[in-house]
Amino acid sequence: MRLGSRSYSEGHLYRARFAVPLDDHPLIVKLSTFMKLTARDLESLEHIFEAEKPVKKGKDLVVDGKEYRNLGFVKDGYALRYKLLRNGKRQILNVLLPGDAIGFPVSFFERSTYSVVALTELKLNICSIDAYVGLCFERPQFGLALSWLAVKEAAIYAERIVDIGRRTPVERLVHFLLELHSRLLTVGLAEKNSFRLPISQEVIADSLGLSVPHLNRVMQHLRKESLISNNARVVEFFDIPALQTLAHYEPLVFAQIPLPMSGRA
Amino acid sequence: MRLGSRSYSEGHLYRARFAVPLDDHPLIVKLSTFMKLTARDLESLEHIFEAEKPVKKGKDLVVDGKEYRNLGFVKDGYALRYKLLRNGKRQILNVLLPGDAIGFPVSFFERSTYSVVALTELKLNICSIDAYVGLCFERPQFGLALSWLAVKEAAIYAERIVDIGRRTPVERLVHFLLELHSRLLTVGLAEKNSFRLPISQEVIADSLGLSVPHLNRVMQHLRKESLISNNARVVEFFDIPALQTLAHYEPLVFAQIPLPMSGRA
DNA sequence: GCCGCTCATTGATCTGGATTAATAAATGCG
DNA sequence: CGCATTTATTAATCCAGATCAATGAGCGGC
């Protein structure tokens, strides 16, 4: 058995020979926002993951139409979940940040209807769905944690629907930027009023259902209004409350998983 | 303790005095599409639900900005999850069908950012998040089941994003109708080529980010092309393969939860 | 069977944002 | 450092779909 692989049989213990250290993993930071993770929790989690996997920029991680049956979590770097249409248009569902899962929603269906591509160099931690399910039978809180993550993903999509369906392009863009900022803050990758935005305007346009020229104009408009600046792929907010109002933005605050107090945890 | 209520303490058994029969519940039908439910599973589930609750048409079930901490599942009837914007526009996220959960994604956050309203008379089965979490510690497969349901919700949203962002109005409408048909088929509420569609054109327009007049025209177009008919709120498909091609529709097939074989189940 | 309401349909006008095309700037790379 | 490729910006045209405004049609209630 090579380093990082695992055995899993009949719902009992499955242990990698070597644990993969996860303690400073953005996934752990994220999970900690809605549940208490004990040392034992962490240890269990570390044993179902394979060794950290480096991925080259531009690599296809999930291909539309293919099967994918893993939960991969981004340790470092950025990726895109998107769909390419027959007419050549592209709709981006989500920009995947450190701590985000590769396998939504593909791993839960027979085959994918979306693709995922690495936008930058990536470090990934991967475990199979089988291993994760096994873990859930040992430590049920992880089944719930997965639900929480899936719901958060749904909530992000929901905002995008509202953005694209009924908000003006300015509102859309601001909302999008505020959301990215908030998500990066969660995993400690943003400043209070700014963050690195390693994505082109084309990506933003394809996220928001706009054309690139129009997105560019909206961007300029925001700069002219002195609401944001963006140089060298760094976005700075000059007046967050004003932006939040403009975009009807409401921060999403996770409720805690109401874990039982008993020795079960 | 009144009928249907439950006790729940310290992560141990929580039992309603009387089980609420769920065996023909559309939720159970849905769950069965991706996991094997044993008699014991069903029994456990029946004990955390309150008695079936009738709801009047037009009743607000979840209000934007308020807290909601239950998992309610529709037994019968239809509901809408939507967001009302300051400018008076409305974006509908999802039409809730029998078997669908009321509490996505609201129950997992401090407070709701969406509203849910009963579109018709409704029958609901409700349990608290706390009770459900308790159940998951007894029977971890339900934590996973919840993940599967949440992911499905996300997948529906994802399709809506692609619809609104990059598909033409005709494609959008056809996609939307095919999806509803498929979801209703799953819970046994549609015919092979037709289904009751108890929603107004305004609802469809607000789901697809279109204006009502335009939606109406698109509808007429499809009728003129003899692709669908809709009289008296019944939609009939005349050529499903052609419609699927037209809309780039790909059915979503759940992967099974890889439950362990052992006595744990 | 009449009333009132909701919902579907139609038409006329107007505009936001797409499309297309070209150029400039930036970035990475050999 | 200069070249190549990607990315940002600008401008001109055009049309899909919004908006606004009526009119019909269906339906439940009494």
- The CA distance from A70 to the nearest CA of chain B, in Å, is 12
User: Does pLDDT of A5 surpass 80?
Assistant: no
Which phi-psi region, left, alpha or beta, contains residue A113 (left: φ > 0; alpha: ψ -120 to 50)? alpha
* CB contact at 8 A, B237 and B227: yes
Phi, psi for residue A140 in degrees, rounded to 5: -60, -20
Q: Which residue of chain A has the CA closest to B82?
A: A162
**What architecture does CATH give domain A168-247?**
Orthogonal Bundle (1.10)
Q: Rounded to an integer, what distance in angstroms lies between the CA atom of residue B134 and that of residue B143? A: 10
Q: Which residue of chain B has the CA closest to A261?
A: B10
* CB contact at 8 A, A104 and A152: no
Task: Determine the distance between A174 (CA) and D26 (C1') in angstroms.
Answer: 44
Residue A216 Cβ < 7 Å to strand D: yes
Residue A222 Cβ < 7 Å to strand D: no
Give pLDDT, residue A86: 87
B169 neighbourhood in chain A, CB within 8 Å: none
Q: Using one digit for the tens of pLDDT, what is the confidence trace for A19-66? A: 777 788 999 999 999 999 998 899 899 989 888 889 988 889 999 999
Give pLDDT, residue A141: 92
Q: Rounded to an integer, what distance in angstroms lies between the CA atom of residue B95 and that of residue B103? A: 13
Other C-beta atoms lying within 10 Å of the C-beta of residue B146: 26
Mean pLDDT of B137-145: 93
Give pLDDT, residue B102: 94
Give pLDDT, residue A15: 52
Task: Determine the distance between B231 (CA) and C1 (C1') in angstroms.
Answer: 25
Q: Where are the domains of chain A?
A: 26-153, 168-247
Q: Which residue has the higher pLDDT, A208 or A232?
A: A208
Q: Which amino acid is at B200?
A: S
Q: Using one digit for the tens of pLDDT, what is the confidence trace for A101-144? A: 999 888 999 999 999 999 999 999 999 999 999 999 999 999 99
CB-based contact (8 Å) between B17 and chain A?
no
Mean pLDDT of A86-92: 91
Confidence of residue A219 (pLDDT cuts 50, 70, 90): very high
Give pLDDT, residue B264: 46
CATH topology of domain B26-146: Jelly Rolls (2.60.120)
Mean pLDDT of B109-126: 92
B152 neighbourhood in chain A, CB within 8 Å: 105, 108
Mean pLDDT of A203-232: 91
Give pLDDT, residue A197: 87
User: Does pLDDT of A189 surpass 70?
Assistant: yes
A215 neighbourhood in chain B, CB within 8 Å: none
Give pLDDT, residue B155: 95
Give pLDDT, residue B17: 54
HEC assignment per residue over chain A: CCCCCCCCCCCCCCCCCCCCCCCCCHHHHHHHCCCCCCHHHHHHHHHHCCCCEEECCCCEEECCCCCCCEEEEEEECCEEEEEECCCCCEEEEEEECCCCECCCCHHHECCCCCEEEECCCEEEEEEEHHHHHHHHHHCCHHHHHHHHHHHHHHHHHHHHHHHHHHCCHHHHHHHHHHHHHHHHHHCCCCCCCEEECCCCHHHHHHHHCCCHHHHHHHHHHHHHCCCEEEECCEEEECCHHHHHHHHCCCCCCECCCCCCCCCCC
- Taking only residues 100 to 129 of chain A, the set having a beta carbon closer than 8 angstroms to any beta carbon of chain B reads 104-105, 107-111, 113-114, 129
- CA dihedral over B163, B252, B157, B199, signed as positive or negative: positive
Give pLDDT, residue A168: 95
Q: Which residue has the higher pLDDT, A199 or A3?
A: A199
Determine the nucleotide nearest to B215 by Cα–C1' distance: D17
CB-based contact (8 Å) between B56 and chain A?
no
Q: Using one digit for the tens of pLDDT, what is the confidence trace for B20-39? A: 777 889 999 999 999 999 98
Asked if the domains at A26-153 and A168-247 fall in one CATH topology, the answer is no
Residue A232 Cβ < 7 Å to strand C: yes
pLDDT above 90 covers a percentage of chain A that reads 67
Nearest residue to nucleotide D11, by CA–C1' distance, is A213
Nearest residue to nucleotide C18, by CA–C1' distance, is A211
Give pLDDT, residue B172: 95
User: Does pLDDT of B141 surpass 60?
Assistant: yes
Task: Determine the distance between A204 (CA) and D24 (C1') in angstroms.
Answer: 44
Task: Determine the distance between B232 (CA) and D26 (C1') in angstroms.
Answer: 9
Pick the CATH number of A26-153 from 2.60.120.10, 2.40.50.100, 1.10.10.10, 2.60.120.200: 2.60.120.10
Q: Which residue has the higher pLDDT, A12 or B195?
A: B195
- The CA distance from A7 to the nearest CA of chain B, in Å, is 13
CB-based contact (8 Å) between A76 and chain B?
no
Give pLDDT, residue A262: 53
Q: Rounded to an integer, what distance in angstroms lies between the CA atom of residue A168 and that of residue A147? A: 32
Q: Rounded to an integer, what distance in angstroms lies between the CA atom of residue A60 and that of residue B189? A: 39
Q: Rounded to an integer, what distance in angstroms lies between the CA atom of residue B108 and that of residue B110? A: 7
Mean pLDDT of B259-263: 65
Give pLDDT, residue B263: 45
Give pLDDT, residue B15: 52
